[in-house]
Amino acid sequence: MEIKVNFLDNLRLEAKFDDFTVVADQPIRYKGDGSAPGPFDYFLASSALCAAYFVKLYCDTRDIPTDNIRLSQNNIVDPENRYNQVFKIQVELPADISEKDRQGILRSIDRCTVKKVVQAGPEFVIEEVASLDDDAQALLMLSGDPQASTFIAGKDLPLEQTIATMSAILANLGMKIEIASWRNIVPNVWSLHTRDAHSPLCFTNGKGATKEAALSSALGEFIERLNCNFFYNDQFWGEDIAHAAFVHYPNERWFKPGRNDALPAEILDQHCREIYNADGELRGSHLYDTNSGNIERGICSLPYVRQSDGEVVYFPSNLIENLYLSNGMSAGNTLAEAQVQCLSEIFERAVKREILEGELALPDVPHEVLAKYPGIVAGIQGLEEQGFPVLVKDASLGGEFPVMCVTLMNPRTGGVFASFGAHPSFEVALERSLTELLQGRSFEGLNDLPQPTFESHALTEPNNFVEHFIDSSGVVSWRFFSAKADFDFVEWDFSGQGENSNEEEAATLFGILEAMGKEVYMAVYQDLGATACRILVPGYSEIYLVDDLIWDNTNKALFFREDILNLHSLDDKNLHALVERLEESELDDYTDISTLIGIEFDDNTVWGQLTILELKLLIHLALQHYDECKELVETFLQFNDNTVERGLFYQALNVALEVQLDDELEFTDYQVNLRRMFGVQRMEAVMGSMDGSVRFFGLTPTSMKLEGLDRHQRLIDSYKKLHKARAAAAGLSS
């Protein structure tokens, strides 16, 4: 994690990381102002807080109340050496906690991350640099034999060379990539979390049987998502990008809707139109670009090559963003390597959907077949030794598709997790299923798995598949666990041979789709210095429903974005219009404004917590519509998951509105005790909101220029690095 420090007045310091700011000071006796804890105090407190976190985690997973658990830490300093200290952590437990859980709680404290890092002894490297923004890709490098050359199935180059090449590409783009965490909780299963230090919203997870394989996976995913603009999906890219020579790619084209808002003739082909516009309801305005919001330019469309005949077909960027998420994108050392990865993931997700929604029962992989892969068996045994039964299934549907499944059961909670993996190689697909199962997860994280169900509607509900796609946390059918399989086991093999194995495998996978009657469309990206591609299979590889283009399109942001960002400068007429549009839209009141308008607000601000319900409430309050405001406040208080501070403001407002709306009540009769109950400052904010002297309490002013929105600005900064590189590659000015 990158922590940037600013020097403030006197001895005060400010550390900034992610969306947080921490201020440190020194006691007055050391010439400070005593306004905040000192740096060493934060360090000492961190281990106590970390220990308490693990206690809380242990207790929450076992429904043990923590109300009467107390924890403290004392630091005993060696009089001969003040750097030698004993951290004594003591925990006081209620008498009704069992002996088993008492020992479990003590063991959980022993797992404290701060404790483990201190005990391992972190290494400090102190150096001068010309610029703090210089690349830090050395942070990614793994210690080991510099002459090593490790090949794994599916990669055309050694892992070490792949990591070095991808790290250099990211450094040349100005991306400062950091590793936020590593996981290796069972043998031969590694995962890690990487992110852009400047814009942590740009992050990826990697997985593999070794550290090197996992890091290569994470960096490859980072590059594929940069190439496909995935990190910036649904977001407003700012007015500069909206009016630049290009928004997404130099080869994009913009087409105006036809008469009566008809789809432009230049976009899609007949095959795609029959899928995306089967009922003739799709209009041109449904496909305006969300990221730029520049509807005057028309519909931003990207070229894809139809694989059946090589023809170029233009797909609206909006359509891709709304339907496909990250499905069908990959980067590789070669195009064929990237294609195999793309197509494997498309099959993995499509077959997974067919199995889960069809409530199919899969055949077990026989023990004698599984024994051929001792590394995978060791990982499975590691899980079972921790009390998690594991099922290994053939998900090829009778040898048709290169897909495997590893399913974990948690007897403690009754939850299950079905993890799928795909690759032309049986072994690689099986390994991917296992590493996907544990990607970024601790053993505690396996306590949150959903329980199976016999309710078919829960399985076919569209959002269930989305949850499975995002992190495999969707619901699974009990029928999935039947010993009577719907298919026979097949020890399939779609892998290629020799130096051209990836080319052979790509051709095989394309052939499966062709035999199914599917059209395949592909875009290749190489302008960032790496080879990446995106493959679309209309009617097969979508994640969201095609109907979402009409009924839940992300470009609904264009109806609200400008007015919401300009909220503080709107007059009453425009505020009336905005709240009416919000009402007429029939959007869920609990949709957060960040999602609605595509702006990444700081989570720790009122903007970051703001929902449509609260925004409507604040607008009615500014317009002094007290009846409407009272109704919304009551709803807010009934279903509020906002901060305690925000809840208290609305409790106070609710009382003030009650007095305001009752002709028999006078506020002066309650003023003194309301101030005592809620505090003078909070009540001044309430009364100011009532009389109009305070507008939109808690929301800092901004505009389409995005003033004060540091988190979003950092995301745009990240995208501008790509934009600049693409412009340079195309010989254009960014």
* 8 A C-beta contact, residue 22 and residue 42: yes
- Has residue 544 got a pLDDT over 80? yes
Query: What pLDDT is attached to residue 70?
Result: 94
Burial of residue 431, with CB atoms counted within 10 A of its CB: 0-12 exposed, 13-18 middle, 19 or more buried = buried
| Structure-model confidence comparison of residues 154 and 39, the more confident one | 39
pLDDT tier for residue 667 given thresholds of 50, 70 and 90: confident
- Has residue 127 got a pLDDT over 90? no
pLDDT, one tens digit per residue, over 568-591 is 999 999 999 999 999 999 999 999
Tell me, yes or no, if the pTM score tops 0.95.
no
Which amino acid does the sequence have at 354? E
* 8 A C-beta contact, residue 674 and residue 652: yes
- Has residue 32 got a pLDDT over 70? yes
Of 228, 276, 270, the C-alpha closest to 249 is 228
Beta bridge partners of 536: 521
- At CA 512, angle to CA 511 and CA 516, rounded to 5? 110
Average per-residue pLDDT for the chain = 93
Helices H, strands E: what count in the chain?
26, 17
Give me the mean pLDDT over the 335-354 stretch.
Answer: 97
Query: What pLDDT is attached to residue 133?
Result: 66
* 8 A C-beta contact, residue 36 and residue 24: yes
**Spatial CB neighbours of 86, under 8 Å, sequence gap ≥ 6:** 75, 76, 78
Query: What pLDDT is attached to residue 75?
Result: 87
**Spatial CB neighbours of 552, under 8 Å, sequence gap ≥ 6:** 544
Give me the mean pLDDT over the 652-669 stretch.
Answer: 92
pLDDT, one tens digit per residue, over 348-385 is 999 999 999 999 999 999 999 999 999 999 999 999 99
Give me the mean pLDDT over the 295-306 stretch.
Answer: 97
Query: What pLDDT is attached to residue 185?
Result: 92
Give me the mean pLDDT over the 404-425 stretch.
Answer: 95
Whole-number Å distance between alpha carbons of 595 and 290: 12
Whole-number Å distance between alpha carbons of 406 and 414: 17
Sign, Cα dihedral of 463, 206, 290, 622: positive
Of 610, 570, 589, the C-alpha closest to 698 is 610
Tokens of 267: 């976009």
- Has residue 642 got a pLDDT over 80? no
| Residue with the two structure tokens 């029959």 | 274
